[in-house]
Amino acid sequence: MADQNVPKVKAVILDVGNVLVFHDNELLYRRLGESAGFCAEAVARLVSAPHWESIHNGDWDAEEIRRQVCGALGVALDREEFAEIWNSHFTANEDILPLVEGLIGRVKLVALSNTNAIHAEYLLHRFPLLGKFDHLLFSHQLKRTKPDPEIYREALRRAGTVASETAFFDDLPEYVEAARRLGLLAYVYRSADEFADQLAALGLR
């Protein structure tokens, strides 16, 4: 039953990674390590926070990502080899997909993800549900990353809604808190069952 104190929701903004699609970073680092003769922990140190900042901010295009990551690991991978490894850690969150399908046409549906050119291309090809969203907002294109307040404001502009009538779901509490500070109805995603209950409380089931 919908919470009578919650305004009618006109848009839902969803994170992609670990909401719509699971990503296993340990697997990614292990696969990269296998190509370069390193353990996963060593890869995590070599492909570090500054790399990911440039990757997610869109400072590097697909070719530059390959060049920088391969350079950090001291390995030569061609485009196909690198893309296969770089995208190897994604699997669909099968339990949530029917719930999201049920929102299509009922609310504005927006994806908001910190990602990069290679991952975005792969995800759009591999998971056709994303093509049914009204808007896809990717950090590398916007040149901003969550939890920058402006990226949430841009999502609201694209949806054409105000914060109080917009729901946001993300697996990272700090990103959810940033959304709440702007007035969005923001929830930490933990499971498909809890997501279903949250949609019901918002009058969306």
Predicted pLDDT at 14: 98
CB 69 within 8 A of CB 32: yes
pLDDT surpassing 90 at residue 68? yes
pLDDT digits (tens, 9 = 90+) for 147-171: 999 999 999 999 999 999 999 999 9
Name the amino acid, one letter, at 174: E
In sequence order, the β-bridge partners of residue 17 are 21
What are the chain's domains? 11-22+91-201 (3.40.50.1000), 25-86 (1.10.150)
pLDDT digits (tens, 9 = 90+) for 77-134: 999 999 999 999 999 999 999 999 999 999 999 999 999 999 999 999 999 999 999 9
Q: For residue 65, which amino acid is it?
A: I
Kindly report the pTM of this predicted structure: 0.94
Quick check: 186 and 168 in contact, CB under 8 A? yes
Report pLDDT for 3: 54
Model pLDDT for residues 43-53, shown as the tens digit of each residue:
999 999 999 99
Average pLDDT in the chain? 96
